[in-house]
Structure 1
């Protein structure tokens, strides 16, 4: 009952979010990284939705994800295009790598999957730990949304196969500003379900001020934020995405409250 990126989840995700599928974020991240001369790390890279286009744009990028199933699909996409990034398996809430990067990105609001301040602080410090002095973090944060009940069924067909996913229920914890979603994943062949899984997925929301404070506490500086992938737009109430930019000074702060 707990969310995990199984083979079925990875298949469904890749059907709905193939490499190059963009919410405007691929174009934004490509612009944001165009002056980066060193390597870039895509945290929670999934099956390569953003990583592959960045590589094709000439950006030296690696990927990190917790799911071996997601990484296996990402590797297939890369190999099919003649791309050879380093793909690391690791938990964003506490990974370590020997490589040092000029930029770390965490697009698509993936950090919302971490619940609570302690987990997010561990993640931000882990990202800082793989940045070069003066390196940049670019992170999407989902604006708070009150979401309850079910959502429309989404489906993707390929020949005689059909993949579906639906949020069948969602519960909102106002005190924690946290949503728990129940997602049903299914694979069908000629009208018969061949695989069915039910997962729970937690979504943690932060205000602009709260996430700015988390970045500061984690040791980042020079923090800015824009709304909906517009470089000159301040974050607003009706935005779908907020993107934070921050600089890692290179010194590890005292860890408080872990």
Structure 2
């Protein structure tokens, strides 16, 4: 699909916005995993390259795909500034359009939650088997759902330094009856004196998947769950864990 969507709007603030919202070293974990796995890696939903550029910098043979052209343009620009050769393509993960076989296919940073129809999510996972090399694996992760309450006002998420000024983000959430959440975000880009430079809104709907639901999706798609990782570490299961990563093999 080539239609614009929410992430098109945030390409130039993504590093400050979503990139600084991860509390764990997921990038280091992905890098170590791909290096240990060997062979080529494919990152779906690569965005502006938060993960992909670090894989390339580590000498990993990695390719990225994303739905958003503005995000990919920013990735290419940042890669060139670092002297990295980034191979990327625009692609909707619901309709993979690339050839090749990969030792590792990453669906990182809760990408699966944007597939709000569980049957469609399972179908996407099943289709990725055609892109796996012998002994290849899928790396699937998602945040652990927490109770969500709707609120009608835009509430401040953060105010962060951004370039030579600041970035503010507010959001409101609607918890839908079908288990999905509508998240509306309002961004304000400010200069050093708090004068408004730019503002824009995004609007997206996601479906949180609990760890057991992720496992069910994987099994429905014909995979075996080889391993479960919590918070990108060797941490044991706990009520406090925030992310779960599944290593899937056909």
User: Shared fold by TM > 0.5?
Assistant: yes
Q: 2:157 aligns with which of 149, 152, 155?
A: 152
1:34-113 alignment runs, 5 A limit: 34-113=35-114
Runs of at least 5 residues in structure 2 that lack an aligned partner in the other structure: none
User: Which secondary structure state, in structure 1, belongs to the residue aligned with residue 106 of structure 2?
Assistant: strand
The equivalent of 1:252 in structure 2 is: none
* Comparing 27-36 and 237-246, the one that deviates more: 27-36
- Equivalent-residue separation in structure 2 for 1:129 and 1:154 (angstroms): 43
Shift of 1:98: 0.8
- Equivalent-residue separation in structure 2 for 1:41 and 1:71 (angstroms): 15
- Equivalent-residue separation in structure 1 for 2:91 and 2:52 (angstroms): 16
The equivalent of 1:225 in structure 2 is: 228
* Comparing 81-90 and 144-153, the one that deviates more: 144-153
Q: TM-score, normalised by structure 1?
A: 0.84
- Equivalent-residue separation in structure 2 for 1:244 and 1:61 (angstroms): 20
1:1-258 alignment runs, 5 A limit: 3-6=5-8, 8-16=9-17, 23-148=24-149, 149=151, 150-159=155-164, 161-167=165-171, 169-173=172-176, 175-189=177-191, 191-231=194-234, 233-248=235-250
Count of equivalent residues = 241
Shift of 1:17: 5.1
Q: 1:58 to 1:31 in 2, by over 3 A?
A: same
User: Which secondary structure state, in structure 1, belongs to the residue aligned with residue 198 of structure 2?
Assistant: strand
Shift of 1:22: 6.8
Contact in 2 for aligned 1:154/1:166 (Cα 8 Å): no
Q: 1:22 to 1:152 in 2, by over 3 A?
A: closer
Runs of at least 5 residues in structure 1 that lack an aligned partner in the other structure: 249-258
Q: 1:94 to 1:4 in 2, by over 3 A?
A: same
Shift of 1:158: 2.1
Shift of 1:77: 1.4
User: Which secondary structure state, in structure 2, belongs to the residue aligned with residue 91 of structure 1?
Assistant: coil
Contact in 2 for aligned 1:42/1:51 (Cα 8 Å): yes
- Equivalent-residue separation in structure 2 for 1:18 and 1:170 (angstroms): 21
- Equivalent-residue separation in structure 2 for 1:234 and 1:153 (angstroms): 30
User: Which secondary structure state, in structure 2, belongs to the residue aligned with residue 64 of structure 1?
Assistant: strand
User: Which secondary structure state, in structure 1, belongs to the residue aligned with residue 76 of structure 2?
Assistant: helix
- Equivalent-residue separation in structure 2 for 1:51 and 1:100 (angstroms): 17
User: What is the aligned-residue RMSD (CA, Å)?
Assistant: 2.3
Contact in 1 for aligned 2:187/2:201 (Cα 8 Å): yes
Q: TM-score, normalised by structure 2?
A: 0.86
